[in-house]
């Protein structure tokens, strides 16, 4: 199997079977071509466009450019909204959110999730920057070993040209790589690792309303958007109970960012 699966049930409830679960376990990612309905995508798109047009939560550090330095003037090339469900709690009742939670618990092989949150990443038409190779865990608390995955749903066609996801199969079984901030600028939140064999990478183009799942250690990347249409993506992060590390992992890039933001006197919380 190639990582593509999922069956639609009644009222848009999507399910996956043993083959998809086994594929995720082996490869650290999975792609399915349906997790929401076209009708719901229309509604989600309205909320999405509003959050970005209003730069929701910017003063609190919830809206910023993932690929540009904090506090810079000018158009964002990779704008992101954190916690859209804090502004619109009804997002948590969406078919997408409910399917994402249920399928995430199956893929993580847990009865219940400890936490689910989300963020939205926009690659503007012709201008959206690449999301460089990274592992999500590199952003997170170095004292924990998370049991977590992300569900990534595009609201527009996700193609190689518009910025679909790429994964390195099996990398979820490896360590968290050394990361640095994009352009070696700790005022840029986005992280990149140079320690990746891209010849092993697999691109996962999917239609709007499809989804990819990736483990928090899976190396992944999304290219720049060179098309005439925006590439909107809504990501849900699903986490089961995490274990504590006896010694925190060495991730100095996390402190570098906090220190750089404090030194530049930028009054935002770094998440």
Give me the residues that bind ligand AKG (CB under 6 A), please: 121, 131, 136, 150, 152, 163, 220, 222, 233, 235
Tokens of 87: 């502004």
Q: Give the nearer residue to ligand AKG in terms of CB position, either 131 or 171.
A: 131
Q: Rounded distance, CA 233 to CA 78, Å? A: 11
Provide, rounded to whole angstroms, the least separation between the CB of residue 148 and ligand AKG: 11
Provide, rounded to whole angstroms, the least separation between the CB of residue 163 and ligand AKG: 6
Q: Give the nearer residue to ligand AKG in terms of CB position, either 117 or 170.
A: 117
Q: Rounded distance, CA 66 to CA 148, Å? A: 21
Provide, rounded to whole angstroms, the least separation between the CB of residue 262 and ligand AKG: 26
Q: Give the nearer residue to ligand AKG in terms of CB position, either 113 or 235.
A: 235
Closest CA to 151 of 139, 136, 138: 136
Q: Give the nearer residue to ligand AKG in terms of CB position, either 59 or 198.
A: 198
Provide, rounded to whole angstroms, the least separation between the CB of residue 233 and ligand AKG: 4
Contact 164, 223 (CB under 8 A): yes
Q: What single string gives the DSSP state of each residue in 155-170? A: SS-B-TTTT-EEE-TT
Q: Rounded distance, CA 48 to CA 234, Å? A: 8
Q: Give the nearer residue to ligand AKG in terms of CB position, either 150 or 171.
A: 150
C-alpha angle with apex 65: 61 to 66, nearest 5 degrees? 100
Q: Give the nearer residue to ligand AKG in terms of CB position, either 190 or 247.
A: 190
State in Å, rounded, how far the first CA of the chain is from the last one.
37
Provide, rounded to whole angstroms, the least separation between the CB of residue 265 and ligand AKG: 29
Q: Give the nearer residue to ligand AKG in terms of CB position, either 194 or 259.
A: 194
Q: What single string gives the DSSP state of each residue in 18-61? A: HHHHHHHHHHSEEEES-SS-HHHHHHHHHHHHHHHHTTTTGGGT
Provide, rounded to whole angstroms, the least separation between the CB of residue 152 and ligand AKG: 5
Provide, rounded to whole angstroms, the least separation between the CB of residue 180 and ligand AKG: 16
Determine whether 184 is exposed, middle or buried from the number of CB atoms within 10 Å of its CB (0-12, 13-18, 19+).
Answer: exposed
């Amino acid at each position: 199997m190639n990582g593509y699966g999922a069956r639609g049930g009644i009222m848009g409830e999507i399910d996956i079977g043993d083959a998809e679960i086994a594929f995720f376990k082996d490869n650290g990612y999975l792609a399915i071509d349906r997790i929401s309905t076209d009708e719901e995508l229309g509604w989600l798109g309205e909320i999405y466009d509003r959050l970005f047009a209003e730069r929701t939560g910017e003063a609190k550090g919830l809206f910023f450019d993932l690929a540009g330095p904090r506090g810079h003037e000018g158009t964002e090339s990779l704008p992101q909204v954190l916690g859209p469900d804090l502004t619109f709690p009804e997002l948590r009742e969406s078919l997408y959110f409910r399917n994402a939670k249920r399928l995430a618990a199956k893929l993580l092989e847990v009865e219940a999730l400890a936490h689910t949150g989300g963020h939205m990443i926009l690659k503007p038409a012709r201008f959206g920057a690449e999301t460089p190779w990274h592992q999500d865990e590199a952003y997170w608390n170095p004292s924990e070993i998370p049991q977590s995955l992300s569900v990534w749903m595009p609201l527009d066609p996700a193609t190689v040209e518009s910025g679909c996801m790429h994964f390195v199969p099996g990398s979820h079984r490896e360590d968290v790589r050394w990361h640095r901030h994009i352009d070696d600028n700790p005022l840029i939140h986005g992280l990149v690792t140079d320690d990746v064999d891209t010849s092993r990478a697999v691109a996962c183009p999917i239609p709007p309303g499809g989804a990819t799942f990736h483990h928090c250690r899976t190396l992944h990347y999304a290219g720049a958007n060179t098309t005439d249409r925006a590439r909107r993506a809504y990501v849900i992060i699903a986490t089961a109970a995490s274990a504590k590390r006896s010694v925190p992992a060495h991730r100095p890039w996390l402190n570098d960012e906090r220190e750089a933001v404090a030194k530049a006197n930028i009054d935002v919380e770094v998440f």
